[in-house]
């Protein structure tokens, strides 16, 4: 996706504790350093205790609203399968969906009251033409640390934007504790390359 | 330098750049990060106060002493601080006093969505409302200037979407302020006995008139004339939503939401054909504009409940239909509400309370989540500290019907915030209540902040630590018992005994939050697993509602062959913390510790 003069709307979703917020911080910082106006919004507090989490990231020449209007997201960047489907209302009809192939069971499912919905990738593909399913956990494992999952997944995201690779690396390095930088940069690059193959 | 800051980070930065000397708060979403960030700046005294009333009083003291001071709180925190607020409005200050109220439209993490713009009008205190992080920083500085110029406390109001949104901010260097601080006695200004207060009140009325005149010239009350067919009056994040939806229309963007610039509004109304007030929650602008005899459209087209987005402006103004669902045939998506963490010290207590089928007067904190299934063991939650009063009221009203069947549960931070006086009432007025203080050594819900019971300050310096047992006894409660909330048998026994006591009693569950950062490493417990061959699928363990425990459905034939009830339990090793609550519930002993040390 070429970055145009129109504001780009990235909706990031997942489950509390998956690293959605850190990934959204990195994207925002990268886009600011790439010369864009940036706004992002999410909620903290009670909502984060293992609940459904969303972060709105918007960048372009001038951004007013910190929230994406329903039906206006260009990219759904989803860390969990069920959560992606929960937010489909937010997408433009030509939106790109990048989804991590992971299931985190909601409480009613772990209790055995509900079952985890089937055919989620198909449901997305029936409605949207561009759906990329990424096994971010596998990439993070290859990089040597499962906790680098969010940065590995960010690698897959990054190839859709005309931003210098070094800028991504620079920001990731500046936002993580020094001892985690190497493994995360490795995970980022693996994620970025994976999408090219 | 340009950086990306949240509204809360920008507020702290702004206060620092304005030379704030004292900053106070009690944690509360969405305001918490303001003080967390204040404490990172050199030369600022920052504190977690026990509650918002104390926070405002400390800030007021500093301002009376001539230094700049800030008190930050969530919207409902202003209710707690309302008592000093209404009278410091009369006294005024010497150094600038800024009160940040962080409102929570949509109640992302709150018990109501009150619109605190009303407090500005009610307490006759001016209020600024920034629309992004840059303005959050700038307006804090303006607020200090206004405070000193007009001898008044000044409100800065944010909402969740300002406090927790990030946008680009240009940093400046802190300003050196001349030392104006002194102990200066001015009893006619600061001692609000009736004779003095009667002389102050007319000054307050005059001040509001002066501020109204100022509002007319205030550059942050900005008129943006474009297409004159529609004019929109908005402030804060609502301005951004409307501007996004209708970039071409005309706007009156209010940086000061109280008092309003009446002449400017009249002039704007004259210039545009159709006038809207686009505001979340209450018709605060709308009613005041209507009182000027001006026609304006507001709550007849925009909701009074919840937060807005650009779509709300479109629907209200151009009548655009809501977004159609992408295909009707989406499957049922199980909800994902927030839950207590695996290893949470509260879980076992609420499991026991559920089994005892008692009425649980609840309070504000992570444990309020125990109202959800399967624990379903919280029966009231109204405000900070209320649980104890509720239990007392039930006890006094229902007598023998309530006796032994009502408990109050209250977290450590909440108890110190406003539970102590409730407990004092129980002791003094001889309530037969059992109060459980859930001491997890931190203010967990808002992100694990320190408080007077943790022995640490906001800057992580060691300090004095409340002794709950001594405190409770000093209030007049004779029966106080500490218990480990992971020992279900003991918990059950202690609860039964204390509930049936015809006197007030306190139980303290003593165990740190599972996310508590000061627990020594190496204390890692062995994780648990389900021995599949011995699990009969009775689901007893699932009644804990632990996210680490999963139900695995098995095919009918397979279950029958294994003498299971259609499935079995599974411990998710990536979530288990080894707390051993579930293994205490398994009658078959099928849940065991890993590493063979069963």
Give residues with Cβ within 8 angstroms of B472, minimum separation 6: B423, B437, B480, B506, B508
Cis peptide before B201 (omega within 30 of 0): no
Owning domain of residue A154: 8-194
Please provide the average confidence, as pLDDT, over all residues in chain A. 92
B509 - beta bridge partners? B438, B483
Q: Beta B127-128 vs B22-25: how paired, if at all? A: unpaired
Best CATH choice for the domain B222-318 from the list 3.40.50.920, 3.30.310.220, 1.10.3720.10, 3.40.50.80? 3.40.50.920
CB contact under 8 A, A70 and B322: yes
Q: Beta B249-253 vs B222-224: how paired, if at all? A: antiparallel
Nearest beta carbon to residue B161 from set A41, A48, A85: A41
Q: What is the pLDDT of residue A138?
A: 94
CA dist., res. B452 & res. B467, Å (int): 10
CB contact under 8 A, A46 and B240: no
pLDDT tens-digit readout, B108-140: 999 999 999 999 999 999 999 999 999 999 999
- Within 10 angstroms of residue B283's Cβ, the number of other Cβ atoms is 18
Q: What is the pLDDT of residue B327?
A: 54
List the single best residue of A110, A127, A175 to mutate versus B (max B Cβ within 10 A): A110
Let me know if residue A1 belongs to a domain.
Answer: no
From the list A163, A154, A147, the residue with the least C-alpha distance to A190 is A154
From the list A81, A97, A185, the residue with the least C-alpha distance to A140 is A185
Residues of chain A found within 8 Å of residue B370, distances taken between Cβ atoms: none
Task: Please name the helix (run of DSSP H) or strand (run of DSSP E) that holds residue A9, with its range, or none.
Answer: strand A8-15
Whichever domain contains A37, its CATH number is: 3.40.920.10
User: Given CB atoms, is A118 within the 8 Å cutoff of chain B?
Assistant: yes
Nearest beta carbon to residue B338 from set A41, A51, A63: A51
What is the dihedral sign for C-alpha B388, B391, B394, B395?
A: negative
Q: What is the pLDDT of residue B176?
A: 76
Q: What is the distance, to the nearest Å, from the Cα of residue B593 to the centroid of all Cα atoms in its chain?
A: 38
User: Given CB atoms, is B556 within the 8 Å cutoff of chain A?
Assistant: no
From the list B577, B572, B488, B484, the residue with the least C-alpha distance to B525 is B577
Q: What is the pLDDT of residue B58?
A: 98
- Within 10 angstroms of residue A190's Cβ, the number of other Cβ atoms is 22
Does the pLDDT at position A196 exceed 60? no
Q: What is the distance, to the nearest Å, from the Cα of residue B544 to the centroid of all Cα atoms in its chain?
A: 27
Let me know if residue A26 belongs to a domain.
Answer: yes
CA dist., res. B266 & res. B252, Å (int): 11
User: Given CB atoms, is B340 within the 8 Å cutoff of chain A?
Assistant: yes
User: Given CB atoms, is B164 within the 8 Å cutoff of chain A?
Assistant: yes
Give the count of domains, chain A: 1
Contact A166, A129 (CB under 8 A): no
CB contact under 8 A, B4 and A29: yes
- Name the class of domain B2-217: alpha beta
Q: Is A115 helix (H, G, I), strand (E, B) or coil?
A: coil
Q: What is the distance, to the nearest Å, from the Cα of residue B268 to the centroid of all Cα atoms in its chain?
A: 37
Task: Please name the helix (run of DSSP H) or strand (run of DSSP E) that holds residue B227, with its range, or none.
Answer: strand B227-234
Helices (H), B171-297: 187-190, 194-217, 236-245, 262-271, 284-291
Let me know if residue A88 belongs to a domain.
Answer: yes
Q: What is the pLDDT of residue A111?
A: 87
The answer to whether domain B347-510 and domain B528-596 are alike in fold is no
Nearest beta carbon to residue B326 from set A25, A88, A110: A88
The CATH classification number of B528-596 equals 3.30.70.20
The CATH classification number of B347-510 equals 3.40.50.970
CB contact under 8 A, B550 and A37: no
Nearest beta carbon to residue B164 from set A42, A50, A71: A42
Boundaries of every domain in chain B? 2-217, 222-318, 347-510, 528-596
Confidence of residue A197 (pLDDT cuts 50, 70, 90): very low
Distance from CA of B141 to the nearest CA of A (A): 22
User: Given CB atoms, is B542 within the 8 Å cutoff of chain A?
Assistant: yes
Nearest beta carbon to residue B237 from set A66, A116, A123: A66
Pick from A44-58, A178-192, B52-66, B230-244: least confident? A44-58
Q: What is the pLDDT of residue B522?
A: 54
User: Given CB atoms, is A35 within the 8 Å cutoff of chain B?
Assistant: no
In B446-589, the DSSP E strands lie at: 479-483, 505-510, 528-530, 549-553, 567-571
Residues of chain B found within 8 Å of residue A16, distances taken between Cβ atoms: 338
From the list B2, B365, B360, B497, the residue with the least C-alpha distance to A35 is B2
Q: What is the pLDDT of residue A46?
A: 55
User: Given CB atoms, is B87 within the 8 Å cutoff of chain A?
Assistant: no
Residues of chain B with pLDDT under 70: 321-328, 520-523, 559, 562-564, 596-598
Q: What is the pLDDT of residue B350?
A: 98
């Amino acid at each position: 996706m070429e970055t145009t003069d129109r504001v780009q709307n990235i909706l990031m979703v997942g489950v509390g504790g998956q690293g959605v917020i850190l990934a959204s911080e990195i994207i925002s910082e990268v886009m600011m350093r790439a010369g864009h106006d940036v706004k992002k919004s999410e909620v903290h507090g009670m909502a984060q205790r293992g609940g459904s989490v969303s972060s709105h990231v918007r960048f372009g020449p001038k951004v007013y609203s910190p929230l994406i209007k329903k039906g206006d997201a260009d990219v759904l960047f989803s860390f969990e399968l069920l959560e992606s489907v929960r937010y489909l209302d937010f997408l433009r009809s030509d939106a790109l969906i990048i989804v991590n192939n992971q299931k985190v069971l909601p409480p009613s499912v772990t209790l055995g009251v509900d079952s985890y919905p089937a055919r989620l990738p198909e449901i997305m593909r029936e409605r949207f033409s561009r759906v990329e399913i990424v096994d971010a956990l596998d990439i993070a494992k290859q990089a040597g640390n499962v906790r680098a999952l969010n940065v590995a997944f960010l690698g897959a995201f990054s190839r859709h934007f005309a931003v210098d690779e070094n800028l991504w690396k620079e920001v990731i390095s500046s936002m993580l504790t020094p001892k985690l930088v190497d493994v995360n940069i490795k995970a980022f690059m693996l994620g970025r390359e994976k999408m090219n193959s | 330098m340009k950086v990306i800051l949240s509204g809360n980070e920008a507020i702290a930065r702004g206060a620092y750049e304005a030379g704030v000397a004292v900053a106070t708060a009690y944690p509360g979403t969405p305001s918490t990060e303001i003080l967390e960030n204040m404490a990172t700046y050199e030369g600022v005294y920052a504190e977690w106060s026990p509650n918002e009333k104390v926070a405002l009083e400390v800030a007021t003291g500093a301002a009376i002493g001539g230094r700049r001071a800030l008190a930050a709180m969530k919207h409902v925190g202003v209710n707690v601080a309302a008592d000093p607020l209404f009278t410091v409005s009369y006294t005024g200050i010497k150094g600038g006093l800024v009160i940040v109220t962080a409102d929570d439209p949509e109640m992302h993490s709150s018990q109501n969505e009150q619109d605190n713009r009303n407090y500005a009008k009610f307490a006759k205190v001016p209020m600024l409302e920034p629309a992004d992080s840059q303005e959050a920083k700038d307006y804090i500085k303006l607020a200090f200037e206004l405070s000193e110029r007009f001898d008044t406390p000044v409100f800065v109001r944010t909402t969740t979407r300002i406090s927790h949104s990030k946008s680009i901010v240009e940093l400046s260097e802190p300003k050196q302020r001349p030392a104006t601080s002194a102990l200066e006695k001015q009893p006619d200004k600061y001692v609000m006995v009736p004779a003095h207060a009667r002389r102050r009140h007319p000054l307050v009325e005059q001040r509001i008139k002066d501020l109204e005149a100022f509002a007319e010239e205030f550059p942050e009350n900005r008129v943006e004339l474009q297409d004159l067919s529609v004019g929109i009056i908005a402030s804060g994040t609502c301005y951004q939503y409307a501007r996004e939806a209708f970039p071409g229309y005309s706007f009156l963007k209010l940086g000061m939401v109280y008092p309003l610039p009446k002449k400017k509004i009249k002039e704007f109304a004259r210039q545009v054909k159709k006038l809207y007030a686009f505001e979340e929650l209450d018709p605060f602008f709308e009613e005041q504009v209507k009182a000027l005899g001006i026609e304006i459209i507001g709550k007849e087209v925009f909701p009074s409940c919840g937060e807005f987005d650009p779509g709300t402006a479109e629907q209200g103004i151009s009548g655009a239909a809501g977004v159609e669902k992408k295909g009707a045939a989406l499957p049922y998506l199980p909800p994902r509400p927030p839950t207590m963490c695996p290893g949470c010290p509260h879980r076992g207590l609420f499991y026991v309370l559920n089994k005892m089928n008692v009425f649980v007067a609840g309070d504000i904190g992570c444990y309020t989540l125990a109202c959800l299934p399967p624990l379903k063991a919280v029966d009231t939650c109204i405000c900070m500290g209320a649980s104890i009063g509720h239990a007392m009221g039930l006890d006094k009203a229902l007598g023998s019907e309530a006796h032994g069947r009502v408990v109050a549960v209250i977290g450590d931070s909440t108890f110190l915030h406003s539970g102590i006086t409730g407990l004092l009432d129980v002791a003094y007025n001889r309530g037969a209540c059992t109060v459980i203080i859930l001491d997890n050594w931190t203010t967990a819900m808002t992100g694990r902040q320190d408080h007077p019971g943790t022995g640490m300050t906001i800057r992580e310096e060691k300090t004095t630590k409340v002794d709950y047992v001594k405190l409770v006894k000093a209030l007049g409660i004779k029966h106080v018992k500490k218990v480990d909330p992971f020992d279900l048998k003991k918990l059950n026994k202690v609860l039964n005994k204390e509930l049936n006591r015809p006197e007030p009693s306190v139980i303290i569950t003593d165990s740190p939050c599972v996310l508590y950062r000061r627990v020594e490493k190496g204390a890692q417990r062995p994780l648990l697993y389900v021995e599949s061959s011995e699990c009969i699928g009775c689901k007893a363990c699932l009644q804990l509602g632990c996210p680490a425990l999963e139900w695995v459905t098995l095919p009918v034939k397979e279950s029958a062959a294994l003498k299971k009830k259609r499935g079995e339990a599974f411990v998710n090793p990536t979530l288990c913390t080894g707390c051993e609550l579930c293994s205490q519930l398994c009658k078959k002993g099928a849940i065991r510790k890993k590493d063979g040390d069963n």
